[in-house]
């Protein structure tokens, strides 16, 4: 290979160059921006070595980034380099690197010549393209044809069966993402006009109210929805609709409490319940909704007294969830608690022998406090018709049964009978205040609970 250029004598003589000199020249050569140095570059490098000796010595010094040292800078230098002519003579031909005498004086990089400036850039380019295409692969598809995208605060296993049924019936695909309600609202707000979401589904009314207030939902005119869903369970402005009902009621220990001892939520503030009450934390939206409804019924100061009474009666610090509260009641730490009906249902299904009973309070008065899990169509939805169809489907009898099956909730559609196990708990009078009050007064409720010391 060396001999191709017929300069072997010259090359051989330069072979004796000390290693350091040659390699410095090689890196100098790199910095000088030579391209196209290929495998036979060994020969060319050697040829250029002594040339660069002169360059090297005459060049001013600049700082080098890898070693914090000074190195020669070739900016502004001009001149013809004979090695260029040699290079241009070898047009296109790239003889393979063969082991030769020069090998011993060059440090042998394991991967040959790949790591030089130009191929580094090429590699970089290649990698970037790969990364970018991967990224765009995962990008949200631009086309929205025939699919509905849902942002759901209801967890997957409680919503997917309904979506699957919808897709089967209508052929429209449903893509969804689950997250906490607040995060979903923040996301919708940030996305603004370009949001991919068509439908927002939450597990409570307060957040739907907030979503409507923030202008994230759009009003929907639909006879089906109006007939399927009672008025107090949907937004008066038609921006959101309840899809299932959960009652928040009193659960008591059947061995220690008779149902005749119980009457209303408010009565639980009575001193006779001291040390016998367990409650879930005030940070969860269900209690916030309950207190909000109480404020709308009784006004702030009365409600505050009631909540303070509850706090005084607590047997232990507020618990993180309803199920735990009910377990505490069953174990005897306390005697009563307030919980959502479907948690009761789940717990009893798992453990039928627990001494827990369900009681419907306020039957003489305004009725049991209810909340809804529901949804609305987003303001900037792409596929409005499909979104509305989804909501209508979810309020239809077929889907309502699924709601009941899957989570032991009460159907919102008055024509649908609840699940037999749920029906066994008895019928009760619902509080018919529009559930949007839960949202309207939620902030007040939270502050009130803070003031009352209800953690």
Partner 1 sequence: MKASNGEALKSTGTNPNTNIVNSFYSSSVRAIRTSIGWRAIPVFIATLVLIPVGTVVSSLFAPAGDVWQHLVETTLAELLVNTFWLAVGVSLGTALLGVSLAWFTAVCDFPGRGFFSWALLLPLAIPAYVFAFVALGLFDYVGPVQTGLRTWLQSDLVWFPNVRSRLGVIVVMVLAFYPYVYLLARNAFLTQGKRSLEAAQSLGFGSIQGFFKLSLPMARPWIAGGVMLALMETLADFGTVAVFNYDTFTTAIYKAWFGMFSLAAASQLASVLIVIVFVVILVEQRTRSGMRYAETRQSARIDRIRLSGWRAWSIAALASVTLFLAFVLPVSQLGIWAASVFARDFDQRYLEFLWHSLLLSAVAAVLTCGFALLMVYSVRRHPDRLTGAAVRISTIGYALPGAVLAVGIFIPVAWLDNQLSEMARRLFDFHSGLILQGTLVTMLIAYLTRFLAVSYNPIDSAMHRITPSIDEAARGLGLTGWAALRRVHLPILKGGIFTAASLVFVDVMKEMPITLMTRPFGWDTLAVRIFEMTSEGEWEQAALPAVTLVFAGLLPIIFFMRQAEK
Residues 331 to 350 in contact with partner 1, rule: CB under 8 A = 331, 333, 343
36 in contact with partner 1 (CB under 8 A): no
Of the candidates 6, 68, 96, 420, which one interacts with partner 1 according to CB under 8 A? 68
Q: From residue 200 to residue 219, what is the string marking binding to partner 1 with x (rule CB under 8 A)?
A: ----------x---------
Of the candidates 146, 454, 407, which has an alpha carbon nearest to the alpha carbon of residue 291? 454
Q: Which two tokens stand for residue 88?
A: 């241009």
319 binds partner 1 (CB under 8 A): yes
CA-to-CA distance for 268 and 335, rounded, in angstroms? 11
Q: Is 305 in the site for partner 1 (CB under 8 A)?
A: no
Contact letters for partner 1, residues 38-57 (x by CB under 8 A): ------------xx-xxx--
**C-alpha dist (Å) from residue 353 to 60, 331, 336, 347, 356:** 91, 12, 17, 10, 9
Angle between helix axes 205-213 and 181-191 (nearest 10 degrees) is: 20
Provide the mask over 173-202, with x wherever binding to partner 1 is found by CB under 8 A and - wherever it is not.
--xxxxxxxxx--xx--xxxxxxx------
Among residue numbers 234 through 253, which ones bind partner 1 (CB under 8 A)? none
Quick check: 84 binds partner 1 (CB under 8 A)?
yes
Cα 161 from Cα 148, distance rounded (Å)? 15
**Binding footprint of partner 1, residue count (CB under 8 A):** 97
Site track for partner 1 across 421-450, x = CB under 8 A: ---------------------xx--xx--x
Residues 103-142 touching partner 1, rule: CB under 8 A, are 107, 109, 115, 120, 134-136, 138-140, 142
Site for partner 1 contains 352 (CB under 8 A): no
Give the DSSP letter string of 205-225: HHHHHHHHHTT-B-----HHH
Applying CB under 8 A, does 353 fall inside the site for partner 1? no
439: which residues sit within 8 A by CB, 6+ positions away?
A: 205, 206, 207, 208, 209, 210, 212, 213, 292
Q: Is residue 23 involved in binding partner 1 (CB under 8 A)? A: yes
Which residues have C-beta within 8 Å of that of residue 287, sequence separation ≥ 6?
279, 280, 281, 338, 449
CB atoms within 10 A of CB 51: 17
The Cα–Cα gap between 157 and 323 comes to: 18
From the CB of 291, what's the least distance to partner 1, in Å?
11
Distance (Å, whole) CA 86 – CA 35: 14
Q: Is 398 in the site for partner 1 (CB under 8 A)?
A: no
**Nearest approach, Cβ of 331 to partner 1 (angstroms)?**
5
């Amino acid at each position: 290979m060396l001999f191709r250029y017929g300069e072997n004598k010259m090359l051989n003589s330069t072979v004796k160059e000390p290693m350091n000199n040659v390699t410095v020249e090689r890196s100098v050569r790199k910095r000088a921006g030579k391209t196209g140095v290929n495998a036979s570059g060994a020969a060319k490098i050697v040829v250029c070595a002594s040339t660069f000796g002169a360059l090297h010595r005459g060049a001013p010094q600049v700082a080098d980034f890898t070693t914090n040292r000074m190195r020669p800078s070739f900016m502004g230098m001009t001149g013809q380099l004979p090695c260029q002519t040699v290079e241009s003579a070898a047009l296109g031909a790239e003889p393979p690197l063969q082991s030769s005498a020069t090998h011993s004086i060059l440090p042998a990089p394991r991967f040959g010549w790949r790591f030089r400036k130009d191929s580094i850039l090429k590699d970089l380019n290649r990698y970037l393209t790969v990364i970018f295409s991967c990224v765009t692969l995962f990008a949200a598809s631009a086309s929205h044809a025939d699919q509905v995208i849902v942002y759901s605060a209801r967890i997957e296993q409680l919503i997917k069966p309904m979506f699957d049924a919808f897709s089967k019936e209508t052929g429209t695909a449903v893509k969804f993402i689950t997250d906490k309600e607040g995060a979903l609202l923040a996301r919708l707000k940030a996305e603004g006009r370009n949001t991919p979401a068509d439908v927002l589904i939450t597990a409570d009314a307060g957040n739907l109210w907030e979503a409507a207030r923030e202008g994230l939902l759009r009003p929907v005119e639909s006879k089906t929805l109006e007939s399927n869903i009672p008025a107090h369970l949907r937004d008066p402005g038609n921006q959101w609709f309840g899809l299932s009902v959960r009652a928040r009621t009193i659960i008591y220990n059947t061995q220690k409490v008779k149902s005749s001892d119980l009457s209303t939520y408010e009565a639980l503030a009575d001193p006779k319940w001291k040390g016998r009450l367990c409650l879930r934390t005030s940070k969860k939206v269900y209690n916030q909704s309950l207190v909000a409804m109480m404020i709308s019924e009784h006004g702030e100061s009365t409600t505050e007294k009631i909540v303070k009474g509850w706090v005084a009666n607590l047997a232990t610090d507020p618990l993180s969830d309803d199920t735990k509260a009910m377990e505490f009641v069953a174990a005897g730490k306390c005697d009563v608690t307030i919980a959502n009906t479907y948690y009761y249902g789940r717990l009893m299904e798992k453990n039928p022998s627990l001494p827990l009973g369900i009681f419907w309070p306020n039957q003489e008065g305004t009725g049991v406090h209810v909340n809804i899990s529901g949804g609305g169509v987003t303001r900037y939805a792409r596929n409005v018709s499909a979104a509305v169809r989804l909501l209508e489907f979810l309020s239809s009898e077929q889907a309502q049964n699924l709601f009941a099956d899957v989570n032991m909730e009460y159907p919102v559609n008055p024509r649908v009978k609840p699940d037999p196990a749920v029906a066994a708990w008895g019928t009760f009078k619902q509080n018919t205040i529009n559930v949007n009050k839960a949202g309207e007064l939620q902030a007040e409720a939270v502050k009130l609970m803070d003031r009352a010391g209800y953690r």
